[in-house]
């Protein structure tokens, strides 16, 4: 509902003062109503636009909206009149009433926006009020509704300004229209696993848009309890949402556990056949049998070069044995069991898993205690001594899989303060306190590796017999090639076999390179390169192509990126993501960092990472993130936005050292 003209007007640029009964014309309303109508339709609403409503129309339409049995948005544009403007004394007027001024400039119960909000709260479905009136904040902070828990509140308000300040020139509604358009285009970069764009994501975007329009207004919204998770509000459907019940369940798995699913590349396990775990069967059998034996404890450590398969190996064990993952995605365990039933763990309620990327010792201790269902007291601050004391009372020896020690916030502290004490602790009967399986690189983990080696528990994936690695690589490449349409025909069988055999042999013929860069990561990326090319037309051609496989991660990464459109901008985006910590960077952070790594020659007004700005830059970065999705893993920020990180730490390490194109000069060194 929007009102442009009123019975009497003053200076069009002036705001009415308290006590005045004449209202200046709002020239922006008609144009904004048209834009808003289209914007609301784009996000999925049926729209009723009511122009120039008098008191009766405002009352009729507001009552119809707030008593509806379906989800509604009520967007009001007009002058706002507090009760004091109606010649009431301050004591009688109250501070929580704000009237939408109708075209007749006559007020009543039906024009009181605060009363609309109170009524809507009593309805079975939620209603959102978007209020572009002076002093609109009065409707957002109604005292009786501030005591209602967020999950039970059915009336929500986004107001143009505070309870005592004016709103200017429809800037708020203009900002809302801009954000609605962005939601319809890209969902404000909300994760595809989330059905609706979250409240805090939308409200912050509106304020940013308002700031960008040069307005000094500060929006007021329904107050929420920041200590609690916000309820899912159905006002803004996410156009990127993919209905996937398993992904939604996986998102409910605790982050330190869910990361193992990502490292196994198992979020879409069944529809990304070529990329999932294969091989390492003898190592899996060795580890799975040990993890299942609750009579024993001790320490085992898995190490190896970047890309040797440490995290995939541990991920396979966690996904087959951790009950939270099995409940959310039982098909992962089923697939691994079909591959090799001896290489999977049994479901184990005392199996905990910690992926320590970016985590500190406090968060690690809290997560372990929660997974082992140790006595939890409100606000309890766990110590290592407390954990050891509580674990010693468990009826069986629990298991802990601990990956990415080298990626923790303080690897040395975690190793010395937690992992070594856990590995050395004994129960009252003399058995080891826990079964502890750790994945880490060699650097800075010397004491832990030495401790495991003394007890026969060190597995160095670089020291596995070459013939076994070669066989696993061949199977990996065959599985990858068989999933590609241009390699899948019966007559392509000898081509697939020759290419897989040649790639596996080439990647295992130089032991020193295998110790620097794990061959599985190189093979995986080379498989991605082959997916973009025509298949060789003969066995000889397949052998020749297989011999060209780069032997290192930098070589195969640069080969793949150089073959892509916008290759230099794509590389800059991946380099920016390489610096992400924890669960990753949001799109805005990638867009802020990536232009630094783009070459100068790519700059052109409105084009490329150097030439684009604002929404054009963000849109360009979104396209590059989609183009580079093979290299990315996604997480979810607390506001629902998607987070991006590289799928392997080895990639991040390389691009952090070499973020600029190899044939360009960094900006800081440019003349």
Length of the chain: 671
**What pLDDT, on the 0 to 100 scale, is given for residue 671?**
27
What is the average per-residue pLDDT within 549-561?
Answer: 92
Decide if 15 contacts 99 (C-beta within 8 A): no
- Residue-range domain boundaries for the chain: 29-221, 245-463, 471-560, 565-669
**What pLDDT, on the 0 to 100 scale, is given for residue 20?**
52
pTM for this one? 0.82
Structure letter (DSSP) for residue 375: -
277 band by pLDDT with thresholds 50, 70 and 90: low
Q: Is the pLDDT assigned to residue 268 strictly greater than 80?
A: no
Cα distances (Å, whole numbers) of residue 395 to 321, 353, 429: 19, 19, 12
| Residue 395 CA from chain centroid, whole number | 38
Q: Please give the angle made by the CA atoms of 295, 405 and 586, to the nearest 5 degrees.
A: 125
* The token pair that represents 388 in the structure block: 């050891």
Give percent of the chain above pLDDT 70.
90
Q: Around Cβ 626, how many Cβ atoms within 10 Å? A: 9
Q: Is the pLDDT assigned to residue 519 strictly greater than 90?
A: no
- Does 565-669 match 245-463 at the fold level? no
* Structural fold of domain 29-221: Rossmann fold (3.40.50)
CA–CA gap between residue 229 and residue 563 (Å, rounded): 44
Residue corresponding to tokens 């706002």: 80
Look up the CATH number of domain 245-463: 3.40.50.300
What is the average per-residue pLDDT within 203-207?
Answer: 97
pLDDT tens profile 138-187: 999 898 898 898 889 999 999 999 999 999 999 999 999 999 999 999 99
Average pLDDT over all residues of the chain: 88
pLDDT tens profile 421-437: 999 999 988 889 999 99
What is the average per-residue pLDDT within 443-458?
Answer: 87
Residue corresponding to tokens 């960094």: 666
Structure letter (DSSP) for residue 101: P
pLDDT tens profile 99-152: 999 999 998 889 999 999 999 999 999 999 999 999 999 999 898 898 898 889
**What pLDDT, on the 0 to 100 scale, is given for residue 96?**
79
Contacts of 104 (CB under 8 A, 6+ apart): 7, 54, 55
Q: Is the pLDDT assigned to residue 191 strictly greater than 50?
A: yes
**What pLDDT, on the 0 to 100 scale, is given for residue 668?**
46
For β-strands 155-159 and 220-221, DSSP reports them as antiparallel
Alpha helix ranges (H) inside 343-492: 361-371, 384-391, 411-414, 420-424, 446-454, 466-482
Between 15 and 110, residue with greater pLDDT: 110
What is the average per-residue pLDDT within 460-489?
Answer: 90
CA–CA gap between residue 520 and residue 518 (Å, rounded): 6
Helix (H, G, I), strand (E, B) or coil at 476: helix
pLDDT tens profile 215-249: 999 999 998 887 788 889 999 999 999 887 777 77
**What pLDDT, on the 0 to 100 scale, is given for residue 455?**
85
* The token pair that represents 23 in the structure block: 């209202």
Closest among 305, 327, 187 to 261, alpha carbons compared: 327
**What pLDDT, on the 0 to 100 scale, is given for residue 413?**
93
* The token pair that represents 411 in the structure block: 């690897």
Decide if 507 contacts 556 (C-beta within 8 A): no
What residues are paired with 399 via a beta bridge?
Answer: 351, 435
Closest among 372, 380, 426 to 400, alpha carbons compared: 372
**What pLDDT, on the 0 to 100 scale, is given for residue 463?**
84
What is the average per-residue pLDDT within 509-517?
Answer: 76
Q: How many helices and strands, by DSSP H and E, does the chain display?
A: 29, 13
* The token pair that represents 521 in the structure block: 């990561």
**What pLDDT, on the 0 to 100 scale, is given for residue 236?**
97
pLDDT tens profile 617-657: 999 999 999 999 989 988 889 899 999 999 888 899 999 99
Q: Does domain 565-669 have CATH number 1.10.10?
A: yes
**What pLDDT, on the 0 to 100 scale, is given for residue 61?**
96
pLDDT tens profile 319-360: 999 999 999 888 889 888 988 899 999 999 999 999 998 889
Decide if 420 contacts 447 (C-beta within 8 A): yes
pLDDT tens profile 361-397: 999 999 999 999 998 776 778 999 999 999 999 989 9
Cα distances (Å, whole numbers) of residue 603 to 409, 568, 596, 613: 37, 11, 11, 11
What is the average per-residue pLDDT within 84-112?
Answer: 77
**What pLDDT, on the 0 to 100 scale, is given for residue 669?**
41
**What pLDDT, on the 0 to 100 scale, is given for residue 13?**
59
């Amino acid at each position: 509902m929007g009102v442009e003209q009123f019975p009497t007007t003053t200076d069009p640029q002036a705001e009415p003062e308290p006590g005045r009964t004449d209202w200046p014309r709002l020239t922006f309303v008609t144009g904004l109503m048209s834009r808003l109508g289209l914007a609301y339709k784009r996000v999925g609403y049926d729209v009723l636009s009511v122009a120039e409503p008098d008191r009766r129309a405002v009352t009729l339409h507001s009552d119809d909206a707030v008593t509806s049995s379906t989800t509604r948005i009520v967007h009001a544009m007009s002058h706002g009149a507090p009760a004091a403007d109606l010649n009431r004394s301050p004591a009688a007027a109250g501070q929580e009433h704000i009237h939408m001024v109708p075209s007749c400039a006559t007020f009543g119960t039906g024009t009181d926006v605060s009363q609309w909000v109170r009524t809507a709260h009593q309805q079975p479905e939620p209603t959102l009020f978007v209020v572009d009136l002076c002093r609109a904040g009065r409707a957002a902070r109604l005292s009786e509704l501030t005591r209602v828990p967020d999950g039970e509140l059915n009336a929500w308000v986004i107001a143009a300004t505070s309870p005592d300040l004016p709103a200017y020139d429809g800037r708020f509604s203009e900002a809302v229209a801009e954000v609605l358009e962005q939601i319809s285009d890209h969902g404000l970069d909300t994760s595809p696993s989330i059905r609706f764009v979250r409240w805090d994501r939308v409200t912050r975007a509106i304020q940013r848009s308002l700031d960008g329009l040069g307005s000094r207004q500060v929006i007021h919204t329904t107050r929420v309890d920041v200590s609690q998770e916000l309820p899912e509000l159905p006002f803004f459907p996410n156009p990127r949402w993919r209905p996937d019940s398993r992904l939604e369940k996986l998102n409910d798995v605790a982050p330190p556990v869910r990361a193992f699913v990502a490292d196994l590349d198992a979020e879409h396990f069944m529809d990304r056949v070529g990329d999932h775990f294969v091989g390492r069967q003898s190592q899996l059998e060795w580890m799975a049998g040990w993890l299942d034996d609750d009579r024993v404890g001790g320490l085992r450590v898995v190490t190896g070069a970047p890309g040797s398969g440490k995290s995939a190996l541990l991920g396979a064990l966690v996904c087959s044995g951790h009950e939270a993952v099995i409940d959310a995605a039982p098909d992962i365990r089923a697939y691994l069991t079909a591959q090799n039933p001896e290489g999977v763990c049994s479901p184990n309620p005392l199996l905990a898993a910690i992926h320590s990327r970016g985590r500190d010792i406090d968060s690690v201790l809290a997560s372990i205690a929660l997974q082992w269902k140790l006595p939890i007291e409100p606000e309890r601050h766990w110590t290592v001594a407390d954990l050891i004391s509580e674990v010693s009372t468990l009826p069986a020896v629990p298991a802990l899989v601990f990956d990415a020690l080298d990626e923790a916030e303080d690897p040395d502290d975690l190793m010395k303060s937690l992992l070594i004490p856990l590995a050395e602790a004994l129960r009252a009967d003399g058995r080891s306190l826990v079964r502890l399986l750790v994945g880490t690189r060699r650097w800075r983990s010397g004491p832990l590796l030495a401790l495991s080696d003394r007890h026969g528990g060190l597995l160095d994936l670089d020291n596995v017999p070459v013939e076994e690695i070669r066989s696993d690589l061949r199977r990996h490449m065959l599985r990858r090639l068989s999933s590609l349409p241009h390699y899948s025909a019966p007559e392509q069988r000898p081509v697939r076999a020759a290419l897989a055999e040649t790639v596996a042999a080439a990647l295992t013929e130089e032991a020193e390179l295998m110790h620097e860069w794990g061959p599985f990561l190189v093979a995986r990326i080379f498989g991605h390169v082959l997916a973009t090319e025509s298949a060789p037309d003969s066995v000889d051609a397949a052998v020749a192509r297989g011999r060209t496989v780069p032997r290192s991660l930098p070589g195969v990464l640069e080969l793949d990126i150089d073959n892509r459109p916008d290759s230099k901008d794509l590389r800059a985006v991946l380099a920016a993501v390489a610096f992400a910590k924890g669960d990753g960077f949001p799109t805005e952070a990638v867009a802020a960092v990536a232009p630094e790594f783009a070459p100068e020659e790519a700059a052109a007004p409105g084009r490329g990472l150097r030439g684009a700005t604002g929404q054009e830059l963000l849109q360009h970065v979104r396209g590059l993130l989609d183009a580079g999705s093979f290299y990315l893993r996604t997480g979810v920020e607390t506001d629902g936005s998607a987070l991006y990180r590289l799928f392997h730490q080895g990639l991040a390490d390389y691009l952090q050292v070499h973020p600029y194109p190899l044939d360009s000069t960094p900006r800081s060194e440019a003349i």
